[in-house]
Structure formats: C-alpha cells, structure tokens
Amino acid sequence: MIQMILLSVTCLLILSGEVYGAPKKRKTYSELKSCDLGNLAEEIASYDTVVKDIIDYAVTGPFKGKTYNELAKFVDKFGPRPSGSQVLEDSIDYMIELTREEDIKDIITEEVKVPHWSRGEEKLTMLEPRVKDIALLGLGMSVSTPPDGITAEVIVIRNFTELENIGENNIKGKIVLYDPVFITYGKTVAYRSQGASKAAAKGAIASLVRSIAPFSINSPHTGMQTYEKNVTKIPTAAITLEDADLIRRIITRGEKVVLKLEMTSSYDDKVSRNTIIDLKGRERSDSLVIVSGHIDSWDVGQGAMDDGGGLFISWAVPVILQRLSLRPKRTVRTIFWTAEEVGLVGAYAYEKQHRNESNNINFIMESDEGTFAPLGLAVGGNQEARCIIAEILKLFQSINASTLIEEDSPGSDITVITSKGVPGASLYNDNSEYFWFHHTEGDTMNVEDEQELDQGTAFWTAVAYIIADISVDIPR
C-alpha cells in the first residue's frame, strides 16, 4: 500500500514540478487580463471593516503574540515529529486538546497508514587524501550500509546528463556525489529525489548529494527520495555545501578522494491521523473553505518553520473567528495533514476518503513554504477564480499582502486536490531565506518572527472568512 502511494506521489510531483524541476507558471496579477466583477467587486470591498477588525485583533489586540507563543510551546515540547513516530501522535492529541480549550467541538481524526523510517547511526569519513569527518544526513527511506560500512572512491557529477555520458566502468563500485548548481528548489531537488536510483543504475554502491540549498553553515539538509523499481537500493545521504565544494576542489586538482560511509536505518508501517476541525457555516455548512498545514516534520531541528508555522496559522483561523463571533455562510475547515514529508500520504488518504465530497470544496489553502511576512497568495484556478481572489487581496494593502501570484500547482499537500480541478492557493510570503534552514537542524524557533506570524495569522484568517462568506462560489 505504502509503495503504491509513493509511486502515485512520484507521478503527481512530476506533474506539479515540485520535485522534478518542471518550471512553474508564476505571474504577478498585474500581468493577468483585466477583470470585470461588477457588483461582486463592491460586495468584496464591503468586507474592509471585517478585515480591519481581524487584523487589529491578531496584530495589536488580544491575539497579539499568541501564534508565536503557542508555536513555541508546541515545538519546544515535542521537537521533530517524524511520520510514524509516537511523538507525532502525541502532538496530534495536543493540538486536539488545545482546540477544545477554545470551545470548538467539531473535531475529528481519520486514520492513515503511514511509512515510519527511522534514522540510526550515520557517519561519513574522508580517508584520502586526508582524514576528515564530514557532516551527513541520510535521505528519507535510505537503506543501510553493510555493518562494516562502504569504503570507496568518489566521483563527482554535476548533472544527470554528465552521469549518462560517463561509462559504467568509471562509476561501478564508486560513490557518486551529485554537486549541482542550485537554481531553485523545484529545479534542483531532482538530484536528491532521483539521484540514488540513477547512480545505482550505473553501478554506484552509494550516492551523496550536495544539500539542496543556496546557503549553508556546514549544515546538511535531509529530505525524501524514492527508489525506482528494478534498481538496486543503495545508501544515500546529503552533505554540506562546504564539503561538496571541498571534495570537488580536491578531485579537480587530480587527487583521489576515498570516503567511508556508515549508515543504519529501519522501516515499517504505522497508523497516524489527519485532524479535521470544522467551524460550521451558518447557511451552507456542506460547502467548505479549507485552510491547512502539515503537522509532521523531518527528524532534525524542531519543525518550527516546516511546517509548525503553517500548522498554527491554520489552527488560528477557526479560533479567531469563534472568538470574534464571525460565522461565515460556508464551513471553514482546518486540516492538519499527517505524513506530508514522506510523500503527501495524509493528503492522498483524505482525497480518497472524501472523493465523493470533492464538489463541496469551494476553495482550499495551504501554508507550507514558511510563515514569514505575508505578501499575498499563489493561486491556482481559472481566470475568473483568480480575478475574485485578486479583488479580495486588495483589502490587504495595509499589511503589504495584496499580491497574487499565478501558479499552476500551489502548495504541496493540496496539489492532490487541486489537480482534480478544485481552485486553491498557498501562502505567498517573504521566504527568501526559507531554504537556508529547510530540513536541517536549523529549523527552530529562531527562524520565526512574532510580528510576522501575527500578520500571517490575520491575513490567513481574514482571507478564509471572506471566501467562505461572499455570495458566490469560487468558479472551477
């Protein structure tokens, strides 16, 4: 079952460009065709007072600092929350109780079978031309090395074309190190996700990848990789930018680099849960506006940025609306996705279980690329849908969050649903440093900013409220 899910994930990510590097279509709204919404534009403008009230409540009022403080308590208590771990399940229970304390009662969980990959001992040592310990993080689902490890010469590969053009005799029995130039995450991450299988097909006995990041302080970045069928599974891990540069320089000078790699890991299946929180609509409770973030994380850092921030601004939406007695026409649903990091597993399970209800989803949103200063939304949908969302975003000029980015597949988990034709959006925020800390020990509360989280909370809540309350559905 898990293997089938991962294959489906691979296919979806190829289409979305999220893993395999197909460029996404991104435009600011100013580049789109002009819109004529008629009376709807006036209706949307009438929400300016509600938007101001929500912003005031979250940024300067009683909710000021709450998102940051609750996030800090959460990640300090639980730390990293890997798929299949008991700490993940404990953190889900915690979020349920935290929500109940806000007198929100419509909370359910749905069980999901998830992969549980657990990292063991990991060590990488340069033996030639000098002895040096090298920082290492195994990639998700990597197999272990033999008990005595793997000792082999390294060959450095810049890209897959170079790999294809090198004869197997030059790769067989060696460790392949991928050292790609970082362009964007979407374009470069293929070397992490596909690298092991492509190297194994040429006879390599292990693969390493230069961390998929533009910046490093000797910090390796982990992440998911998937083995292809009918290819030997070889150990695979990430090293730092600094050590990748070091190895390349030595080899370029004509010297041989020999490494000893030692890795252990375990793998089994566990049961986790998606968490669903509903603030029922006052008129059309069957029509859903969904806000979401994933609750799991990799096993390093605290998972504060990826995706604790997205989790908590989505948690805050029904809480703030409940506190302000703002009950929209449609139901606002918050979802905490489980097992996102290992292949959108929770999202796939939700889509399958709720497939017959997909027509009830009016709009779906996800925050999973940081919760820095909000700038607007990256929106997927047809032209009319984007026109409506752009009109709503005009109400957020006071916090500089009125930009619409046109994107074919916004978000990560929600691509499972938007690929079926449901309109949706991801948070567009000032995340220029996001991939500095992504999937590393550096993903901690130090990356988060209290004021920016307040703004993100206000923005996320007010946008969801307006979409859930306006007279028209978002068109498909």
Each residue's pLDDT tens digit, 441-470: 999 999 999 999 999 999 999 999 999 999
Q: Which residue has the tokens 């460790």?
A: 175
Q: Give mean pLDDT, residues 3-21.
A: 38
Give which of 216, 215, 155, 223 is closest to 194, Cα–Cα. Answer: 223
Tell me: pLDDT of 220 over 60.
yes
Tell me: pLDDT of 13 over 90.
no
- CATH annotation of 119-265: 3.50.30.30
Which one has a higher pLDDT value, 26 or 346? 346
The band of 28, judged by pLDDT with boundaries at 50, 70 and 90, is low
User: What are the DSSP E strand ranges found in 21-145?
Assistant: 27-28, 107-128, 132-134, 136-138
CA dist 213 and 16 (Å) reads: 20
CATH architecture of 2-106+280-469: 3-Layer(aba) Sandwich (3.40)
Contact 41, 438 (CB under 8 A): no
Q: Catalytic amino acids?
A: 340
Give the tens place of pLDDT for each residue, 96-117: 999 999 999 999 999 999 999 9
For 288, residues 6+ apart whose C-beta sits below 8 A from its C-beta are 330, 331, 332, 333, 360, 361, 362, 364
Burial 154-178 (b: 16+ CB within 10 A, else e): bbbbeebeebeeeeeeebeebbbbb
**pLDDT at site 33:** 58
What are the boundaries of each domain within the chain?
Answer: 2-106+280-469, 119-265
CA dist 178 and 331 (Å) reads: 47
The band of 15, judged by pLDDT with boundaries at 50, 70 and 90, is very low
